[in-house]
A and B are shown apart, each in its own frame.
Chain A
Amino acid sequence: MRVTFPVAAPPAAWAALADPDRVADALPGCRSATADGDGTLAVVADVAVASVRGLWSGRVTRLDGDAVRITGAGAPGTVDVTVRADTGRTALTVEGEVGGPLGTVGGSVLAAAARRLAEDLLAGVADPASPGPGPDPGAAVRRRGRAGAAVAVAATVVGAVAVAGWRRRRGAAGGRP
């Protein structure tokens, strides 16, 4: 996948992405975000893109400049993408490979999900008082008025961070890539 979309977030939001706790609070579906000391962030999240849902875990590694690499796997599929902000932090570009069930939803859906995830994350870290995911990420999604639909791929930046996630297809799906 390769997608570029505009983002609008105050400098404080970008700074907050460096704080794993803020990220964990703000990222839809996030169960934990742990800095492991060598500049990477370990993320576990419930991810939902279209009908693909499930627990996903991965790592967010800071690269040179305003960029991170997100890698990980889980029931929803595999992710290996780079998320890069442009010079003025007005746009993000997500580029890389998405496999497994997530790779079957179509590029336009992945792009839309990545954009939504980034927007939600940046909005969440900028304003900790805004409704966060809480212990039940599904509830968080519902609070935001997006019942059942969801979040997803993707990513965000920094100085810092981003994420992605997936989830398993419905029981009946029993699927294959």
Chain B
Amino acid sequence: MTTQWFGERVERREDERLVRGAGRFLDDAGHDALAAAFVRSPYAHARIAGIDAGAALDVDGLVGVYTWEDLPGRLADPLPLLIPHPDLSHPRTQYALARGEVNHVGEAVAMVVAVDRYVAEDAADRIAVDYEPLPAVVGLDAARAADRLVHEDVPGNVAAVTTQELGDAAAAIGAAPHVLELDLAMERSLSSPLEGRGVHARWDEEDGRLRLRTSTQTSTGVRAAVANILGLPDVAVDVITPDVGGGFGTKVLHPYPEEVLVPWAARMLGREVKWVEDRYEHFVSATHERGQQHHVRVGFDGDGTILGLEVDFWHDTGAYTPYGIVLPIITATQLPGPYRHRHYRVTFTSLYTNTVTVTPYRGAGRPQGCFVMERTMDRIAETLGLGRDEVRARNLIGPDEFPYDFGMVFQDGRPLIYDSGDYPGLLNRLRDLVGWDGFVAERDAAAAAGRRLGIGLACYVEGTGVGPYEGAHVHVETNGRVMVATGLTSQGQGHETVFAQIVADELGVDVGDVYVTTGDTRRFPYAVGTYASRAAVMSGNAVALASRAVRAKAVRIAAEALEAAADDLDIAGGVVHVRGTPSRGIPLSQVAVLSNPLRYSFSTEAQAATQFASAPDPDVAPVPDGDEPGLEARDYYSPVRSTFAAGMHAAVVEVDPELGTVAILRYAVVHDCGPLINPMIVEGQIHGGVAQGVAGALLERMAYDAAGNLANANFMDFLMPYLSEVPTPEIAHSETPSPLNPLGIKGAGEAGVIPVSACLAAAIEDAVGVRMDRMPISPPELWAALEARR
């Protein structure tokens, strides 16, 4: 009897503690720690003429006030440029505390440490910073105009200009029978996880070790940066990611200033220090994303086949570029979507503005690229009087065309080659799922009743599982528990469950006997992080490979004990047994005992491994050359390039022309991330992604005024979707395996969010005929557009 866990809707093992309130989040630790608070710039752009902490002296319980002047060694240098790129001609990163100049509202100017957060905030309020305001550059129009500069030594506010080209797009467009030009734009938003950032540091003087807890998406990244900046040995820094209440990209940036300042203070003061981001701080100091303007030229023939595509776009990178130009590279390389392109040129300009720094937010450049490509498809269909599905179908890459090489470089520095997929199959399933063909009748019936319905669809391809690698350690203990560690972090994805499913299948044990730890450098020190829909692909394959090594060792040891041939053995129910003879077997727990030759027994079971318990071969060492004690193994998975998932969304909306409101009547998702480890968890990812997509399409924007003040930096004014705005999508899965990894899987974390703006824009446009060329669209904006036409 073999149980298959892979593919099952196994309930999330982490939920038992999370829903009972027994999770351990950052703020659940360090109740006796000193508290840090930050003085943050109220100006978008200013020089700092002086900082007077005099009035803070009267606050009882103050421990210290720290400015850039106080920072020693590398802590006084600009924070690391995480992802350099040859085209990033003018990289700029911030100082941990502002050095003479601030470049966005919210930039950290001083850190206050006190006996508790109340005292720290009181003291922070009394610190007088003498600012000399400078003109601010806010928004892409101002950045492109470059009448004012963010960094005076960065001409034109230009951080980078990059071009990639496949074929000769200009010539192909020049020869095309039809040419369209479009301008398309998307606004800024931010991740807004339930739990903001937070850091808790403890310096152990006796051991000379720093223990740092941080709500991050990369504990090993933080560890390397903190050790380097504070001048500590790597092995003296432990970084632990506790339960994390959402990341959505913003927590992959590291080190944030607080992640180096708090441990520095803890070590200097010899006291635990903690900082927990408040919601205002999240709005003005955790990174944002999405602001881009695009100009499109497309040439196509009479049946809608794209002949050439040129896209120029401008990316708002905010005040600094710690994450390099990864985001616009993703837009540039994911914009082609599931379509055949022979001639494609894309050029982007990354521009500084006096706003919060931009790094990936779930979707990461893809929602913009998808919006551009899909709006272009809709315009081609409109121009030719063809069906929107029809035009897409004519351009889709066929199932027999893989691997499909774009001749471009993807965000991981590796070739942009689609590995597998069935895009026409997805389109057919989507049409069925949403009722595409019957919609005309539905719309006409509604129109007869005075209702304005529209339908839209949008398609995307998502590069997932980017390298360079992840690893895993799998250890079968003598009590039969299987302890698994992988270095990347979890922010609620369900890793404890899906990795346990993989291990349970590989080792033939119950999923309940597998215990997974993520994001703890003490357990696994080599890792990259959780971003780019990569955890399942990267760590999933790593745990599979490590489990296979453990399995091979278990079978070898059991074969000896059972005096059977290894090839004849199988593992099921936690017992290694002779295939076909379940009674002739040995539990994995006992194999674990035998794997570790003992002088000293520690239990009745362990006596079997002691030196007089058996008559060994006198010429073979207890641990032969090339072997190691213990039933455990470590292995790594490193892909040659990314694997490409795909999906398509369709929505039926109703627009109220009097109110400008949009109601989503139906939402359909077809999705292909290869074989599903746990369909329930994938569907949860899609639900959440669609919710964030709806937010980005209809609600969320960062309301910066011309001076760079963020006018809606709170949950009263920044609109998040409620259940009333979020549809429950109908979901259909396709499972096209990837040839690139042992499990054949692809990533699913960001998929849900990517095409939503494009899809809803198309549906709204279909409903009311108003051109939808920028997202999000608010009810007042839609109402005004309708009014303008009346």
Contact = CB atoms under 8 A, between A and B. Distances in A.
Contact of A109 (B53, B60, B268, B271): B53
A111 interface: yes
Contacts of B65: 50, 105-106, 108-109
Contact of B64 (A50, A150, A177): A50
Given A109-B53, A173-B271, A50 B67 contact: no
B268 A177 contact: yes
B54 interface: yes
A113 B69 CA distance: 17
Contacts of A104: 63-64, 268-269
A112 B67 contact: no
Interface residues of A, number: 25
A149 interface: yes
Contacts of A106: 53, 64-67, 70
Contact of A147 (B60, B64, B114, B269): B60
B62 A51 contact: yes
A116 to B, nearest CB: 7
A143 interface: no
A174 interface: yes
Contacts of B114: 51
A115 B59 CA distance: 17
B100 interface: no
Interface string A163-176: 00000000001111
Interface in A62-115: 104-109, 111-113, 115
Contacts, number: 75
Of B53, B61, B66, the most chain A CB neighbours within 10 A belong to B53
A31 B186 CA distance: 68
Contacts of A150: 57
Interface string A149-163: 110100000000000
Contacts of B64: 50, 104-106, 109
Contacts of A175: 269-271
Interface residue SS majority, chain B: mixed
Nearest to B60: A148
Interface in B676-690: none
A112 B56 contact: yes
B536 to A, nearest CB: 44
Report the interface size class on chain B.
Answer: 20 to 34
Nearest to A149: B58
B57 A50 contact: yes
Contacts of B60: 147-149
Interface residue SS majority, chain A: loop
Nearest to B53: A108
A51 B70 CA distance: 18
B67 A113 contact: no
Contacts of B63: 50-51, 104-105
A126 interface: no
Contacts of A176: 205, 270
Contacts of B62: 50-51, 109, 149
A116 B57 CA distance: 10
A108 B69 CA distance: 9
A14 B269 CA distance: 37
Given A51-B61, A104-B64, A176-B205, A116 B271 contact: no
A109 B56 contact: yes
B432 to A, nearest CB: 66
A177 B269 CA distance: 6
B115 interface: yes
A116 B269 contact: no
B199 interface: no
11 contacts: A105-B64, A106-B64, A106-B66, A106-B67, A107-B67, A112-B52, A112-B57, A115-B54, A149-B60, A173-B271, A176-B205
Interface of A: 49-51, 104-109, 111-113, 115-116, 146-150, 152, 173-177
Given A106-B67, A175-B271, 20 more contacts: A107-B67, A107-B69, A108-B51, A108-B70, A109-B53, A109-B56, A109-B57, A109-B62, A112-B53, A112-B56, A115-B54, A116-B57, A148-B60, A149-B57, A173-B269, A173-B270, A173-B271, A174-B270, A175-B269, A177-B270
